[in-house]
């Protein structure tokens, strides 16, 4: 600021102010100023005024400077302690200026940041949006923003929000771009938490729906289980009924066989024998008869004999009378002898004398089981030897039939729906009917063993013909 003398005073207030101050100066030097006086006094006066003017201006300037300094300090404080980091970047993205918050954010001294590319602090995991942001900033886009993960020196990453601002001329021909960076980790975390909460809420809702759905499924499962249980129970009952029925059938069959066998034996055989005997009498009296007739009588007798044999064989197949007449040992012996003659398979038979005390209905069971087992041996096993061992074992009778032939797959045979089951079910059924059980083991190289067990129920009355 320069003082003006000859020129018209741009600040007329200043002169007035200076002139008023002359009057207040010490008296000795004060001269009453007559404007018309072109004297040295007048020149002195002018100089005094000018001096005062200068002093005034100086004071004013000092005050302005002080105010300026105060403002600058205020600005610096505002700039440095702003809640966001301010980065001024050049066109290459290098940091030209940074406030204190910025350097704190990155945990790097300000002086060391200058000249460094801000992109250096982008974490590798960050979304790759910073270069785009920078491009937009430089190309003058209006307020570009981006969210990136920055790495503090020392390694801790944080979410940062970058706001681009207008370009500013810093020096000649050097533009800088202001970027405000704020740490939004907390915000991000909150957002994450919110998102998680949302997710949890959604999951929760889905779970609830799932629970409802599952309950429905469970309910229907329970219903179907109840249904299945009922079906199972029904099927068991049916099975029991069937078993009962089949046992009934077996028993009835056995009784019926016995009855028919008896009938055949007592009625048919006897009648045929009667006819035979009558024919014999007739032919003896026949000395008076023509020889041709006698011959006819003899032929008829042969026919009758053949008929008796057929009927007898049939009756025997239905029910071996030996079983009732001579007991189990004798009938097994008879059966085994015939079996050997028919099959060529050698038989060993060991038992105990008390066996014939076995009740009649159990005798037939053991007999039939032995018959079935041996039929299997003959038809399937290709055995050369078979042994039957019947012994008392505590309160049970145990019959073991072992052959040295080919083994078979017991399970497969038992579960074969279509094929023959080798009469095993029949054997088992007969045994279970009288409280017994059946077990079959068959291993290649060891042949087959049929093991039958049943409680030893003895006949109550003394045996018809005890072996004494």
Partner 1 sequence: MKPITVLLAEDHTVVREGLRALLEAEGDIRVVGEASTGRQAVVLAQKLTPNVVVMDIAMPLLNGLEATRQIRKILPDSKVLILSAHSEEVYIEQVLAMGAMGYLLKQTSAHVLSDAVRDVNQGKTFLCPTIQNRRRSAPVSARIPLSSRELEVLQLIAEGHANKQVAAELVISVKTVEKHRQRLMEKLNIHDTAGLTRHAIASGIIESSIHLTIT
Site residues, partner 1 (CB under 8 A): 265-266, 269-281, 284, 301, 304-305, 308-309, 312, 316, 321-322, 325-326, 329-331, 333-334, 336-337, 340-353, 384-385, 464-465
Which residue, 167 or 330, has its beta carbon nearer to partner 1? 330
Residues 6+ apart with CB under 8 A from 202: none
Q: How far apart are CB 354 and partner 1 at their closest, in Å?
A: 9
Q: How far apart are CB 269 and partner 1 at their closest, in Å?
A: 5
Which residue, 280 or 416, has its beta carbon nearer to partner 1? 280
Which residue, 61 or 303, has its beta carbon nearer to partner 1? 303
Which residue, 101 or 351, has its beta carbon nearer to partner 1? 351
Spatial separation of the C-alpha atoms in residues 16 and 160, rounded to whole Å: 61
Q: How far apart are CB 259 and partner 1 at their closest, in Å?
A: 14
Q: How far apart are CB 264 and partner 1 at their closest, in Å?
A: 10
Which residue, 222 or 284, has its beta carbon nearer to partner 1? 284
Phi and psi, residue 66, nearest 5°: -60, -45
- Strand boundaries in 76-119, DSSP class E: 85-89, 95-98
Residues 6+ apart with CB under 8 A from 298: 283
Element (H, E) at 392: strand 385-393
Q: How far apart are CB 343 and partner 1 at their closest, in Å?
A: 6
Residues 6+ apart with CB under 8 A from 156: none
Spatial separation of the C-alpha atoms in residues 89 and 133, rounded to whole Å: 13
Spatial separation of the C-alpha atoms in residues 332 and 370, rounded to whole Å: 8
Residue showing tokens 């079959």? 440
Burial, 215: exposed, middle or buried (Cβ in 10 Å; 0-12, 13-18, 19+)?
exposed
Which residue, 23 or 344, has its beta carbon nearer to partner 1? 344
Pairing mode, strands 95-98 and 396-403: unpaired
C-alpha torsion 29→35→37→43, nearest 10: 50
Burial, 89: exposed, middle or buried (Cβ in 10 Å; 0-12, 13-18, 19+)?
buried
Task: Specify whether the CB–CB gap between 279 and 297 falls below 8 A.
Answer: yes
Task: Specify whether the CB–CB gap between 308 and 316 falls below 8 A.
Answer: no
Q: How far apart are CB 443 and partner 1 at their closest, in Å?
A: 21
Q: How far apart are CB 468 and partner 1 at their closest, in Å?
A: 9
Q: How far apart are CB 341 and partner 1 at their closest, in Å?
A: 5
Which residue, 240 or 317, has its beta carbon nearer to partner 1? 317
Q: What own/partner pairs with CB < 8 Å and gap ≥ 24 does 21-29 have?
A: 21/52, 22/48, 22/49, 22/52
Which residue, 266 or 416, has its beta carbon nearer to partner 1? 266
Which residue, 326 or 459, has its beta carbon nearer to partner 1? 326
Burial, 433: exposed, middle or buried (Cβ in 10 Å; 0-12, 13-18, 19+)?
buried
Spatial separation of the C-alpha atoms in residues 270 and 208, rounded to whole Å: 88
Q: How far apart are CB 460 and partner 1 at their closest, in Å?
A: 18
Q: How far apart are CB 281 and partner 1 at their closest, in Å?
A: 5
Which residue, 94 or 265, has its beta carbon nearer to partner 1? 265
Spatial separation of the C-alpha atoms in residues 198 and 171, rounded to whole Å: 51
């Amino acid at each position: 600021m320069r003082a003006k003398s000859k020129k018209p005073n741009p600040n007329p207030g200043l002169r007035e102010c200076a002139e008023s101050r002359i009057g207040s100066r010490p008296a000795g030097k004060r001269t009453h100023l007559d404007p018309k006086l072109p004297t040295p006094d007048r020149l002195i006066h002018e100089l005094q005024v000018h001096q005062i003017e200068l002093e005034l201006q100086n004071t004013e300037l000092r005050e302005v400077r002080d105010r300026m300094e105060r403002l600058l300090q205020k600005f610096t404080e505002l700039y440095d302690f702003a809640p966001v980091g301010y980065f001024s970047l050049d066109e290459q993205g290098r940091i030209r200026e940074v406030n204190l918050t910025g350097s704190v954010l990155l945990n790097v001294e300000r002086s060391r940041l200058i000249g460094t590319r801000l992109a250096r602090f982008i974490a590798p995991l960050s979304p790759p949006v910073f270069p785009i942001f920078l491009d937009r900033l430089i190309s003058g886009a209006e307020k570009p923003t981006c969210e990136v993960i920055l790495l503090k020196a020392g390694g801790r990453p944080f979410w940062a929000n970058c706001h681009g601002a207008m370009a500013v001329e810093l020096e000649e021909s050097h533009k800088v771009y202001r970027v405000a960076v704020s740490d939004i980790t907390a915000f991000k975390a909150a957002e994450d938490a919110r998102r998680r909460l949302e997710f949890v809420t959604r999951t929760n809702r889905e779970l609830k729906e799932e629970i409802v759905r599952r309950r429905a499924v469970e309910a229907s499962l329970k219903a179907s289980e109840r249904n299945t249980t009922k079906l199972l129970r029904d099927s068991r009952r049916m099975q029991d009924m069937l078993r009962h029925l089949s046992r009934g059938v077996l028993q009835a069959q056995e009784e019926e066989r016995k009855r028919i066998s008896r009938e055949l034996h007592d009625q048919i055989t006897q009648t045929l024998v009667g006819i035979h005997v009558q024919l014999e009498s007739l032919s003896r009296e026949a000395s008076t008869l023509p020889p041709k007739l006698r011959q006819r009588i003899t032929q008829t007798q042969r026919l009758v004999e053949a008929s008796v044999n057929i009927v007898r064989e049939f009756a025997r197949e239905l029910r071996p009378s030996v079983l009732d007449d001579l007991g189990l040992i004798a009938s097994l012996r008879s059966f085994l002898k015939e079996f050997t003659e028919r099959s060529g398979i050698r038989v060993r038979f060991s038992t105990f004398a008390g066996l014939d005390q076995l009740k009649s209905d159990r005798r037939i069971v053991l007999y039939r089981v032995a018959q079935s087992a041996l039929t299997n041996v003959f038809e399937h096993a290709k055995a050369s030897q078979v042994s039957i061992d019947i012994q008392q074992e505590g309160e049970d009778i145990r019959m073991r039939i072992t052959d040295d032939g080919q083994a078979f797959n017991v399970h497969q045979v038992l579960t074969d729906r279509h094929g023959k089951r080798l009469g095993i079910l029949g054997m088992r059924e007969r045994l279970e009917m009288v409280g017994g059980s059946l077990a079959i083991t068959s291993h290649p190289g060891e042949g087959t063993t049929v093991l039958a067990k049943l409680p030893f129920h003895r006949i109550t009355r003394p045996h018809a013909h005890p072996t004494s």
